[in-house]
Amino acid sequence: MAIPSIDVPRWDGPLPTRDEAAKMIDHSLLRPELTPADILAGLATALAYSTASVCVRPTDVKAAATALRGTPVAVGTVVAFPHGSGTTPTKVFETTELIALGADEIDMVIDIGRLRAGDTAFTQDEIAAVVEAAAGRPVKVIFENSYLTQEQKVAGYRAAESAGAAFVKTSTGFADGGATAQDIALMRRTVSPAVQIKAAGGVRTLDALLELNRLGATRFGATATAAILDDVEERRRLLDVR
């Protein structure tokens, strides 16, 4: 099911530079139909705009690491994506293998059903196991917020922080809901400043990115990277004209 773009008022605050905005974006290359040529084109886009990272499918990590070696663009990838249904040992194995192939950042999906059942100890232990396997690399924990109650979200975010996660993340972008302003605000209230927030799912405009950044998100999974960053350039050009 397609996730609608986030409906936000037009941003009227200070504009970041294009480079500043680019460092908030993980350029997403996760759709199942992408061909090797599509992946290479996506990597070229990320490199041209100097995004914080690309987020690629596990099968594309080796190619991405080769193409981006020596550049400022990090290679991110996903574990147990998109359903989170793998066992903890499987998630640990995936993490270890993907780091060996060149991944710099790991976005893992929790076992959503176990958190919904109230088993926060399992959630924390699972995240901690992946964090350990990541050996110091940032782990971003995906909660798929649209499936969770507010109480389940809060419990999950706290478990992620206790387990050593670097980020809490709203969604995979493949469920029936993505990032919302309400969830970003809740995440920011729940975790300490030591934990960052990644918004994913429906962040397709500069206004959406800026509004969610104002609420506390510091990283964004996006496929509309070029459009968002070109909009920054155009708005800054118009401001300079005035």
The pLDDT assigned to 166 comes to 98
The pLDDT assigned to 4 comes to 53
Overall average pLDDT of the 166-187 stretch: 95
125-140 pLDDT per residue, tens: 999 999 999 999 999 9
Overall average pLDDT of the 91-117 stretch: 98
CA 40 centroid distance within chain: 20
pLDDT band, very low/low/confident/very high, at 176 (cuts 50, 70, 90)? confident
Among candidate residues 160, 161, 154, the one with its CA nearest the CA of residue 192:
161
pLDDT band, very low/low/confident/very high, at 241 (cuts 50, 70, 90)? very low
The pLDDT assigned to 160 comes to 98
Q: Is the pLDDT of residue 8 over 90?
A: no
54-72 pLDDT per residue, tens: 999 999 999 999 999 999 9
Q: Which residues pair with 52 in a beta bridge?
A: none
Report how many domains make up the chain. Answer: 1
> How many Å apart are CA 84 and CA 56, to the nearest integer?
17
Cβ–Cβ under 8 Å, residues 170 and 183: yes
Catalytic residue (choose from 60, 169, 183, 231): 169
91 is known as an active-site residue:
no
In a domain, 151, yes or no: yes
Residue 129 gets the label, from left (phi > 0), alpha (psi -120 to 50) or beta, of alpha
In a domain, 73, yes or no: yes
Coil, strand or helix at 36: helix
198 is known as an active-site residue:
yes
Q: Is the pLDDT of residue 1 over 70?
A: no
In a domain, 5, yes or no: no
In a domain, 129, yes or no: yes
In a domain, 41, yes or no: yes
Instruction: Calculate the average pLDDT of the chain.
Output: 94
62 is known as an active-site residue:
no
Q: Is the pLDDT of residue 143 over 80?
A: yes
Instruction: Specify the higher pLDDT residue, 173 or 47.
Output: 47
User: Which residue in the block uniquely carries the two structure tokens 């709203």?
Assistant: 170
Domain with 92, as residue range(s), is: 21-241
Q: Which residues pair with 219 in a beta bridge?
A: 198
In a domain, 14, yes or no: no
Catalytic residue (choose from 60, 140, 198, 207): 198
Q: Is the pLDDT of residue 209 over 70?
A: yes
Q: Is the pLDDT of residue 5 over 70?
A: no
pTM of the model: 0.93
Whichever domain contains 118, its CATH number is 3.20.20.70
116-127 pLDDT per residue, tens: 999 999 999 999
Catalytic residue (choose from 26, 107, 207, 231): 107
Q: Taking CA 138 as the corner, what is the angle to CA 232 and CA 105, rounded to the nearest 5 degrees?
A: 70
In a domain, 6, yes or no: no
Q: Is the pLDDT of residue 173 over 50?
A: yes
Overall average pLDDT of the 30-34 stretch: 98
Angle formed by the axes of helices 206-215 and 225-241, nearest 10°: 90
Q: What is the torsion angle, in degrees rounded to the nearest 10, for the CA atoms of residue 82, residue 83, residue 89 and residue 95?
A: 10
Percent of all residues in the chain with a pLDDT value above 70, rounded to a whole number: 94
The pLDDT assigned to 240 comes to 78
In a domain, 15, yes or no: no
